[in-house]
């Protein structure tokens, strides 16, 4: 077993667990092969002695009683981008530390630069720090976005000491760090982007954000698995984690919050990439349904809730006889195992002979939906393709399907029905349990189903 050399130690890349020797499995997070060897930061070790000599250790901060803590009204800073404010929980909280991750070229820097432009126009003092681009490169991108005011300051630097000095000297309200993997601290003898450098750099920015009340946005690179590169402890240290999703070759982008101490973690923001930058998509349901085929089998619209926002998505299924002994199964935009489970329910409860068929299920528009409420839509799309019977053009369906073939209730059914009615759908298929609880709705026909057997009568 490898032992650390003098002046080095092994760190877990997932949780930051420290060990004097390499281990195959981390005792902290139980992840395999996550230990890397990094140099140890040397410290003088006199700080504690100096405090003890001055008697500070016995006169430190005293704990507070919860009832004695005064609560001021929470004032958020509006970025001017409605979709971004929605994901952040209503705006930027002063003193917060936000991590933004996403694939290369997805638009992370463009979105943050657009945010800086709008905040500068509202009179906020903004500092944009880049470790990847020169000042001329940033200006080229800025000219494509629009005009900027003088309250936006730019700094190209990777030395954490210089950056900390600039922030404490200028006292900006908003700081952008692009990106955390390029920052380094001279006291840490490790390469930029390593576990030690990323952890130390994030700790410094966390101290600046909480100490001076500065809102700091950190851009993070992602690995091939789609997670932020570096130690997993990085996501635990920050207040909010945002992920930019979508194909960089397509026009749409989805900003999803996976952690938020000041709001919901289920909200999403939808953007469209244009020549002048990222533009908000005010009605993502209409955007996702654009181009839906007419009179085609295997196509049905379902409704998914993303936080407080209902989004209508088109579910496409293609079921055909397999020419091989082992049929193919493929799912895009939803859970592959969930699709297999629903097809097994159809074969068992309805007697459909689809075990010898190839089956392909796709969420049109590139959305990734994991909510069980789209189960009924997947079932209807598969049956429609297998029977080669088109579903009614203005019909929408949502509901969770169990292993017994029952259609179970879903949350916020009234909001889903209202969204379908707003977009012109005339028929809504939903769980009968939800139908009994809904008030009378005019302008849309509601059909309640109890099991997948009832679906056969509709198609």
pLDDT digits (tens, 9 = 90+) for 174-190: 999 998 999 998 888 77
pLDDT band at 230 (very low <50, low <70, confident <90, very high): low
What was the pLDDT predicted at 60? 65
Domain assignment of residue 358, yes or no = yes
Residues 401 and 453 in one domain: yes
Give dist(CA 106, CA 132) in Å, integer.
16
Residues 139 and 215 in one domain: yes
| Tally of structural domains, the chain | 3
Domain assignment of residue 246, yes or no = yes
Residues 305 and 324 in one domain: yes
CB 378 within 8 A of CB 315: yes
Backbone φ and ψ for 175, nearest 5 degrees, come out as -130, 135
What was the pLDDT predicted at 196? 82
Residue linked to tokens 């009614």: 392
CA distances from 344 to 105, 356, 401 (A): 40, 12, 12
Domain's final residue, options 264, 282, 300: 282
Residues 140 and 273 in one domain: yes
What was the pLDDT predicted at 50? 40
CB 268 within 8 A of CB 287: no
Q: Is 105 annotated as a binding residue?
A: yes
Q: Is the pLDDT of residue 57 over 60?
A: no
Residues 301 and 407 in one domain: yes
Q: Is 103 annotated as a binding residue?
A: yes
Q: Give the number of other CB atoms < 10 A from CB of residue 455.
A: 23
Residues 114 and 205 in one domain: yes
Cα 168 from chain centre: 31
Based on the number of CB atoms within 10 Å of its own CB, is 31 exposed (0-12), middle (13-18) or buried (19 or more)? middle
What was the pLDDT predicted at 48? 43
Give dist(CA 47, CA 50) in Å, integer.
5
Residues 340 and 210 in one domain: no
Dihedral sign of CA atoms 114, 115, 118, 120 in order:
negative
Backbone φ and ψ for 68, nearest 5 degrees, come out as -90, -10
Residues 237 and 101 in one domain: yes
Which CATH number characterizes residue 433's domain?
Answer: 3.30.230.10
Residues 267 and 187 in one domain: yes
Residues 166 and 205 in one domain: yes
What was the pLDDT predicted at 203? 92
Give dist(CA 170, CA 157) in Å, integer.
15
Q: Is 108 annotated as a binding residue?
A: yes
Q: Give the number of other CB atoms < 10 A from CB of residue 306.
A: 19
Domain assignment of residue 328, yes or no = yes
Domain assignment of residue 52, yes or no = no
Summarised one tens digit per residue, pLDDT across range 291-301 is 888 889 999 99
Q: Any idea which of 51-65, 122-136, 289-303 has the lowest mean pLDDT?
A: 51-65
CA distances from 42 to 8, 45, 99, 186 (A): 10, 9, 28, 11
Domain's final residue, options 234, 261, 282: 282
Residues 150 and 164 in one domain: yes
CB 1 within 8 A of CB 21: yes
Long-range contacts of 58-63 (CB under 8 A, 24+ apart): none
Domain assignment of residue 362, yes or no = yes
Q: What residues make up the domain containing 378?
A: 286-458
Q: Is the pLDDT of residue 248 over 70?
A: no
Q: Is 109 annotated as a binding residue?
A: yes
Residues 24 and 154 in one domain: no
User: Which tokens is 169 given?
Assistant: 């000297």
Q: Is 104 annotated as a binding residue?
A: yes
């Amino acid at each position: 077993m490898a032992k650390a050399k003098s002046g080095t130690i092994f760190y877990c890349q997932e949780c930051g667990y420290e060990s004097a020797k390499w281990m195959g499995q981390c005792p902290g997070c139980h992840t395999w092969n996550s230990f890397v060897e990094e140099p140890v930061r040397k410290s003088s070790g006199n700080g504690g002695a100096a405090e003890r000599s001055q008697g500070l250790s016995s006169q430190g901060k005293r704990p507070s009683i919860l009832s004695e803590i005064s609560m001021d009204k929470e004032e958020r800073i509006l970025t001017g981008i409605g979709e971004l404010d929605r994901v952040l929980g209503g705006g930027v909280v002063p003193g917060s530390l936000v991590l933004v991750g996403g694939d290369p070229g997805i638009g992370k820097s463009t979105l943050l630069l657009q945010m800086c432009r709008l905040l500068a126009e509202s009179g906020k003092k903004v500092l944009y720090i880049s470790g990847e681009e020169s000042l001329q490169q940033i200006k080229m991108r800025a000219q494509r976005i629009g005009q900027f005011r003088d309250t936006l300051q730019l700094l190209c630097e990777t030395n954490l000491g210089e950056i900390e000095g600039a922030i404490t000297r200028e006292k900006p309200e908003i700081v952008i760090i692009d990106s955390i993997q390029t920052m380094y601290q001279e006291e840490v003898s490790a390469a930029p982007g390593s576990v030690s450098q990323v952890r130390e750099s994030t700790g410094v920015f966390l101290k600046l954000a909480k100490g001076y009340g500065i809102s700091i946005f950190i851009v993070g690179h992602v690995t091939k698995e789609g997670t932020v590169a570096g130690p997993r402890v990085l996501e635990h240290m920050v207040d909010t984690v945002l992920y930019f999703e979508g194909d960089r070759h397509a026009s749409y982008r989805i900003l999803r919050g996976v952690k938020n101490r000041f709001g919901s973690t289920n909200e999403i923001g939808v953007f469209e990439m244009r020549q002048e930058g990222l533009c908000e998509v005010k009605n993502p349901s209409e955007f996702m349904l654009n181009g839906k085929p007419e009179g085609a089998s295997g196509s049905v619209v379902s409704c998914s809730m993303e936080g407080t926002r209902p989004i209508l998505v088109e579910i496409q299924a293609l079921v055909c006889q397999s020419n091989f002994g082992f049929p193919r199964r493929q799912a895009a935009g939803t859970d592959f195992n969930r699709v297999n489970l629903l097809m097994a329910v159809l074969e068992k409860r309805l007697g459909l002979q689809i075990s010898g068929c190839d089956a392909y299920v796709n969420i049109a528009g590139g959305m990734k939906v994991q909510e069980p409420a789209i189960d009924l839509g997947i079932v209807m799309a598969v049956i429609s393709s297998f029977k080669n019977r088109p579903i009614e053009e203005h019909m929408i369906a949502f509901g969770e399907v169990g292993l017994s073939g029952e259609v179970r209730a879903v949350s916020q059914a009234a909001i889903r029905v209202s969204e379908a009615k707003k977009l012109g759908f005339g028929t809504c298929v939903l769980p009968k349990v939800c139908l009994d609880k809904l008030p009378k709705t005019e302008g849309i026909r509601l059909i309640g189903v109890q099991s997948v057997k009832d679906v056969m009568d509709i198609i």
